Amino acid sequence: MTSGLCSAADRIKWFHKARFGMFIHFGLYAVPARGEWLMFQERIPTSEYAKFAREFTMHKFDADAWAKLAVEAGMKYVVLTSRHHDGFCLYDSKVSDFSSVKTAAKRDIVAEYVKACRKAGLKVGLYYSLVDWRFPGAFEPIKYKDSLSAMIQQAHDQVRELMTNYGRIDILWYDGGGLVWHPTIKSIAKLWRAKKLNAMARKLQPNILINDRSELKEDYDTPEQKIVSSAVGRAWETCMTMGDICGWGYIRNNPNYKTTHNLLQNLVTAAEHEGNFLLNIGPKPDGTIRTKEVSRLREIGRWMKTNSEAIYGSQRCELLGGGAADEWNVRGIVWNSAGRWTRKGKIGYLHVFRWPGREIVVPLVKTKALSAVVLETGKKAKIRQEHSGRLVIYGLPKNPPDPNITVIKVRFADVPKILKEKNKAAWLKLP
């Protein structure tokens, strides 16, 4: 679909180059610090929940610090919750007084966030929850028809505000539309009048990317907390929390945080399948970011400083462990437990998750390898290729050069291809 200035293919180009973004779940739920679903999970009445806004001063909020941290981590775009399911707006909405502008903070967070991201050279995304739990129609859409209609109208009005009042917006990240449920509702997209809503958004923002959560396909898919590749040619982005899946907003005590190694493996695995990784943080009610999120982002940033060429603009690689849908990968038969491949043209990047030692063997390589270098150290490695298609990369250090993932950049004579095995037992070399 073309819209205004450029085609869908042109609009999505920067997204494929970016590969890595920051998700920010910041909202009133940070005050009680039990996750963004607590209003529903604890069945807190609207008037009681609204009282949290009296202490939501976010007095240490510094949008430039958030943007700086995203850049430091190697992220190229940010998506901020402009309003989550609880209905509290982080911007100056003319159709709702339940906002950060009209309560204790008296600040338009979205305005400050957009300005800081632009200044830092980041693309700007806005998350918008279609559902608003303050409307009874969200839970009983048939019993409270008028409330349901008012909530849908609010969504149209507020998306118009967000697309009109904050300059260029690069991503509209819908959520929550499917939380309105009733057996008589056959189409979520029709319920929200999504076609009309998205046409309006695109008219106001001709270059915008819209995700698939208004239940129309639009520009890209959004698997959540797991890495599930879309078909070749379809853009997709996995969003994921650093902690376990209990919450995206600030949770005071969550012992279960993924390690930097795990987070990097997820980033690499998404990039291996030409997908993006949207890594979430949940800032504290004062607007600062907790140490264990900052430390992980900085460690990722250190890794990206050396290895980002293997991530930004990554392409699928046909070699085993490289995201191409070759028979073995499709059958889920893990190649070598060493790692995964990304590619850029004729260059392959072998991401070694479990360093095997002085040599690494890659089976079934058809294309001639010309050279190999360890990105972390810049040191060349030796290579030899056997007729069976085994590529042996050797002369490597015994211990992994990078404490997380070591990347070996392999130049090939052509786009690296896998050796198709006519007789799958031939390598046994039986008499």
Smallest gap, in angstroms, from Cβ of residue 133 to ligand FHN? 11
Kindly give, in sequence order, each residue whose CB lies less than 8 Å from that of residue 314, ignoring residues fewer than 6 positions away.
Answer: 19, 271, 272, 274, 342, 343, 344, 349
Smallest gap, in angstroms, from Cβ of residue 222 to ligand FHN? 7
Smallest gap, in angstroms, from Cβ of residue 153 to ligand FHN? 22
Measured CA angle at 63 (ends 62, 68), to 5 deg: 100
Q: Which of residues 377-396 bind ligand FHN (CB under 6 A)?
A: none
Q: Which is nearer to ligand FHN, 247 or 321 (CB)?
A: 247
- How many CA atoms are closer than 13 Å to the CA of 104, on its beta-carbon side? 15
Q: Among 124, 239, 350, 374, indicate the residue that binds ligand FHN (CB under 6 A).
A: 239
Q: Which is nearer to ligand FHN, 212 or 376 (CB)?
A: 212
Smallest gap, in angstroms, from Cβ of residue 175 to ligand FHN? 5
Smallest gap, in angstroms, from Cβ of residue 246 to ligand FHN? 10
Q: Which is nearer to ligand FHN, 175 or 402 (CB)?
A: 175
Q: Among 49, 91, 236, 248, indicate the residue that binds ligand FHN (CB under 6 A).
A: 248
Measured CA angle at 119 (ends 157, 74), to 5 deg: 100
Smallest gap, in angstroms, from Cβ of residue 167 to ligand FHN? 24
Residues 86 and 234: their CA atoms lie apart, in Å, by 32
Q: Which is nearer to ligand FHN, 270 or 410 (CB)?
A: 270
Q: Which is nearer to ligand FHN, 86 or 108 (CB)?
A: 86
> What stretch of H or E contains 162?
helix 145-165
Residues 98 and 86: their CA atoms lie apart, in Å, by 10
Q: Which is nearer to ligand FHN, 26 or 412 (CB)?
A: 26
Size of the site for ligand FHN (CB under 6 A): 6
255 burial via Cβ count (<10 Å: 0-12, 13-18, 19+): exposed
**Using rule CB under 6 A, residue 172 touches ligand FHN:** no
User: Is 384 in contact with 351 (CB distance < 8 Å)?
Assistant: no
**Using rule CB under 6 A, residue 236 touches ligand FHN:** no
**Using rule CB under 6 A, residue 113 touches ligand FHN:** no
**Using rule CB under 6 A, residue 36 touches ligand FHN:** yes
Q: Which is nearer to ligand FHN, 85 or 202 (CB)?
A: 85
**Using rule CB under 6 A, residue 224 touches ligand FHN:** yes
Q: Among 170, 175, 237, 272, indicate the residue that binds ligand FHN (CB under 6 A).
A: 175
Smallest gap, in angstroms, from Cβ of residue 12 to ligand FHN? 20
User: Is 167 in contact with 114 (CB distance < 8 Å)?
Assistant: yes
Q: Which of 312, 376, 371, 380 is nearest to 347 (CA)?
A: 371
Smallest gap, in angstroms, from Cβ of residue 266 to ligand FHN? 15
Measured CA angle at 68 (ends 82, 24), to 5 deg: 25
Q: DSSP characters for 295-358?
A: HHHHHHHHHHHHHGGGTTT-B-BSSTTSBS--HHHHTT----TTEEEEEETTEEEEEESS--SS
Smallest gap, in angstroms, from Cβ of residue 229 to ligand FHN? 18
User: Is 21 in contact with 279 (CB distance < 8 Å)?
Assistant: yes
181 φ/ψ angles, rounded to the nearest 5 degrees: -135, 140
- Which residues of this chain interact with ligand FHN, rule CB under 6 A? 36-37, 175, 224, 239, 248
